[in-house]
């Protein structure tokens, strides 16, 4: 299932055209189109959606009766997730590998090729996210409340990930 989850992420977050998909403006694609593009059956897709501990994917039935799927966040292709700014908790966390810390301390957390910087509400989640690439994990604490008071906007994705455009170094400890 991990391999299929990675294929789904690639198709729904980064390179839909590679498998012949076209995302709508909100990032949605009919489930039937994804099944056809990836050559898998519905049970496999449902297992990935239900079994993903980060709830990376969402399935909805539209008013037209068509079921659609999208990635919850992390896109590098243009999509409008329809997120509205919300007040964050005072502190959020970002897990990263040790090799990235010097750069982060110099320039802050930047979104890179994605729409947002991803933050977690607790250290264990940040550690799990930061460990996905291997190596020692460093947990950075972000003063999200202070950022919000200073005018930075925060969003919360459907799966609970906190998102913001950037985190300047002065808010990282």
38 within some domain: yes
Asked if 63 and 100 sit in the same domain, the reply is no
Which pLDDT does position 53 carry in this prediction?
Answer: 66
Q: Which domain holds residue 109?
A: 92-171
Inform me whether the pLDDT recorded for 1 exceeds 90.
no
Least confident range of 8-12, 43-47, 139-143, 158-162: 158-162
Which is nearest to 72 in space by CA: 4, 16, 13, 124?
A: 13
User: Does residue 164 fall inside a structural domain?
Assistant: yes
Cα–Cα distance, 69 to 61 (Å, whole number): 9
In this structure, is residue 63 part of a structural domain? Answer: yes
Residue with tokens 């509400």: 121
- Are 97 and 149 contained in the same domain? yes
Where do we find the tokens 């980064």? Answer: 14
pLDDT in tens, 6-58: 999 999 999 999 999 999 999 999 999 999 999 999 999 999 998 876 678 98
Tell me the pLDDT tens digit for each residue of 113-133: 777 899 999 999 999 888 877
Q: Check which CATH number belongs to the domain holding 119 and give it.
A: 3.20.170.30
pLDDT over 80 (residue 134): no
Q: Take residue 121 and report the two structure tokens written for it.
A: 């509400």
pLDDT score at 70: 92
**Per-residue tokens: 149:** 């008071």
**84 belongs to a structural domain:** no
Does the residue 76 lie in any domain?
Answer: no
Asked if 54 and 125 sit in the same domain, the reply is no
How many domains are contained in the chain? 2
Coil vs helix vs strand at 149 = helix
Question: Which residue is associated with the tokens 């539209």?
Answer: 62
Q: Residue 145 falls within a domain, yes or no? A: yes
Which residues touch 132 (CB under 8 Å, ≥6 apart)? none
Residue 77 is assigned to a structural domain of this protein: no
The answer as to whether 128 is a domain residue is yes
- pLDDT tens by residue, 46-97: 999 988 766 789 899 988 999 999 998 778 888 888 889 999 999 999 999 9
Q: What is the tens place of the pLDDT at every residue in 103-115? A: 999 999 998 877 7
CATH code, domain with 41: 1.10.10.970
Give the pLDDT score at 29. Answer: 96
């Amino acid at each position: 299932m991990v391999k299929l989850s990675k294929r789904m992420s690639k198709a729904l977050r980064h390179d839909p055209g590679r498998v012949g998909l076209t995302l709508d403006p909100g990032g949605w694609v009919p489930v039937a189109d994804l099944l056809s593009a990836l050559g898998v059956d519905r049970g496999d897709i449902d297992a990935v959606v239900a079994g993903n501990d980060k709830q990376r994917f969402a399935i909805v039935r539209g008013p037209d009766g068509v079921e659609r799927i999208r990635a919850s966040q992390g896109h590098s292709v243009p999509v409008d997730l329809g997120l509205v700014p919300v007040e964050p908790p005072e502190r959020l966390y970002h897990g990263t590998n040790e090799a990235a810390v010097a750069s982060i301390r110099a320039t802050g957390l930047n979104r890179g090729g994605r729409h947002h910087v991803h933050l977690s509400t607790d250290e264990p989640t940040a550690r799990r996210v930061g460990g996905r690439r291997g190596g020692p994990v460093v947990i950075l604490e972000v003063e999200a409340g202070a950022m919000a008071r200073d005018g930075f906007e925060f969003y919360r994705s459907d799966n609970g990930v906190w998102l913001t455009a950037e985190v300047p170094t002065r808010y990282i400890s």
